[in-house]
Each structure stands twice: as structure tokens, then as C-alpha cells.
Amino acid sequence: MIQSVAFIGLGAMGYRMAAHLPKHFNDVYVWNRNQDKAKQHAAEYGTQAVDLQKAAQADVIFSCLPTSQEVDDILSQVYLKKGSIWVDCTSGVPESAKKQAQYLAEQDVYFLDAPVSGQTVGAENATLTFMVGGDQSAFEQALPAMQAMGKLIKLVGGSGAGFAVKAINNMMMAVHLCAAAEGFTTLKAHGVNLNEALACINASSGKSGVTETALPQRIFSREFPLTFALPLLAKDTGIAIDLIREAKLSAPVIGLTQSLIQAADALAKPDSDFSTAVKLYESWSKITLE
């Protein structure tokens, strides 16, 4: 039985995810580097803004930070309760998850790598997908807490497997983004009506999450709302490339996509949404996707 839950990292995802926990659990602690956000969360959702050590004393502790490096930094600062479960929703590095699980096992604490997909709207509606790596019994114990924030929750393998699935998912999304930018730039060069073309493709085999949501809502609208930062996508594609290298596989499409996403990130303004990667194509072709 889970008595207390904590959430560490109230960013674009964490702030919205943690908002669901008080509906299911009595004691919900939140901690954020900028403590004002934690206080605001407590006032808004009835969570408790606490210091890091108090948060680390919960039965189930969620973290959602930019990279595995920040998770390592936090783990090195806290003492955890025996039998507790650390559920890391960061899109992290599979090799780090194995080390983190080993490090926490020495304290009789479980570690699950449990990255999520569904973007901020999924976090807001508690419809996220959790792809989880780690111990089966820890997964089952932490499941009710993940169910408070997600819809599809799958144990995909041992430690690191969740992070691996997330990295490959985001890499595939990046491939779709580049393909959509190339495809629609070509259509516009041929004088095709982009909105009508998009409607056709979204009813055909070329559709993807990018064509269904990112193109109409972010790119054609020219809004590019910042909900998932481009450097975070570049980080994920980097993790995917490392997985491919470790497996000694060749993946030319993914390799090229990684270079394009890195170039787009290098040229982007600070605080750019992932969808601004298409501006790389726009600058080459002098064609605006609108």
C-alpha cells in the first residue's frame, strides 16, 4: 500500500503530472529546484512543498528532470527509505538506469526507469504512456501511482529498457519531423495547397503523429508553442544513436536525422520548441511551411 508519494522536478511535464496525485493519495510531497514553483503547486493542487530530504522519504518518489545527470546529482544528495521505489520519468540514458538501479539496490531501494510520452497535454489529462524498465514486483507496487498520471503503462524489460524505448520513440518522431518538412516543402514548391494536402495525407499511409498534431498545431499555425524544448529532443536522438552504436548496427536514416536535429538545435534561438527544427529546411529552401 502506497501511503506517500513525492514528485521531484516540476517542469513542463512534472508540474502537470504531480497535479493528479492528491486525487489518489493523502500525502503528496513536491520538490523543485526553484522552490517558488513547488509552493505554487501546493497552493494550486493541495500538494505539500517540502525540502528534498523530506520528499525522499516517500514510499514512491517520482523524478522528471532534463537528463540522467541531474537525477544522479539528486540521488547523491538524499537518504531513502528501505523498500521505497524511485520512479524516474526523465527521458534518460539506459546505461545510467542500470547504474542507478544498482546504486539504490545497495540501499534496499528499487529504481524504475519510467519515461513518459504524450506531451504536456497528456500530462494535463493523465493520459500519458509510461514505458518502464526494472523489477516486476517494484513495477506492480508502483503501478497505482503511475496509473494516477497515465493510461497505457507497460513494463518493457529490465533496467534501462524504458529509457531505450523512449529514445527510439523520440528518434522515430524526429525522422517523421524531417520527412514531413522535406515532403511539405516540396509540395509547396509545386504550388500545392498545404492544408488540403495535409488533410489527404492524414487520411493516407504517410500520416504520423507529426502530420496529425505538430504540423497543423505548431508549424502551419506558426505558433511553435514551447512545450518540448528542441535541446531535449537533440538529447533523446543522441541517446538513440548511442544505443545503435552499442549494438554495432548501422542505421543511416537515424544517423542523418541525428545530424539534422543537432544542426537545427545549434542554429535555434534559446527556448525553442522541438517543432522549430523545420526552420532548418525553411532556411535552405526559402519556403515557409504555412
Query: For ligand NDP, which stretch binds (CB under 6 A), given 186-194, 209-217, 224-232, 265-273?
Result: 224-232
34 binding ligand NDP? (CB under 6 A): yes
279 binding ligand NDP? (CB under 6 A): no
94 binding ligand NDP? (CB under 6 A): no
* Whole-number Å distance between alpha carbons of 284 and 189: 13
Of 257, 216, 206, residue with least CA distance to 233: 257
217 binding ligand NDP? (CB under 6 A): no
Determine which one of 98, 166, 235, 279 is catalytic. 166
78 binding ligand NDP? (CB under 6 A): no
Size of the site for ligand NDP (CB under 6 A): 23
Concerning whether 166 is annotated as a catalytic residue, the answer is yes
Nearer residue to ligand NDP within complex by CB, 201 or 254: 254
List 47, 90, 100, 258, residue binding ligand NDP (CB under 6 A): 90
Nearer residue to ligand NDP within complex by CB, 22 or 122: 122
List 9, 94, 150, 162, residue binding ligand NDP (CB under 6 A): 9
Query: For ligand NDP, which stretch binds (CB under 6 A), given 10-18, 95-103, 150-158, 183-191?
Result: 10-18
Q: Return the residue nearest ligand NDP (CB atom).
A: 11
* Whole-number Å distance between alpha carbons of 136 and 88: 15
List 12, 172, 194, 267, residue binding ligand NDP (CB under 6 A): 12
- Helix H, strand E, coil C: the string for the chain is CCCEEEEECCCCCHHHHHCCHHHCCCEEEEECCCHHHHHHHHHHHCCEECCHHHHCCCCEEEECCCCHHHHHHHHCCCCCCCCCEEEECCCCCHHHHHHHHHHHHCCCCEEEECCEECHHHHHHHCCEEEEEECCHHHHHHHHHHHHCCEEEEEEEECCCHHHHHHHHHHHHHHHHHHHHHHHHHHHHHCCCCHHHHHHHHCCCCCCCHHHHHHHHHHHCCCCCCCCCEHHHHHHHHHHHHHHHHHCCCCCHHHHHHHHHHHHHHHHCCCCCEHHHHHHHHHHHHCCCCC
Nearer residue to ligand NDP within complex by CB, 116 or 149: 116
63 binding ligand NDP? (CB under 6 A): no
- Other C-beta atoms within 10 Å of 202: how many? 15
238 binding ligand NDP? (CB under 6 A): no
Query: For ligand NDP, which stretch binds (CB under 6 A), given 63-71, 176-184, 193-201, 256-264?
Result: 63-71
228 binding ligand NDP? (CB under 6 A): yes
Catalytic site residues? 166
Residues that bind ligand NDP (CB under 6 A): 9-14, 32-34, 37, 64-66, 70, 90-91, 116-117, 119-120, 227-228, 232
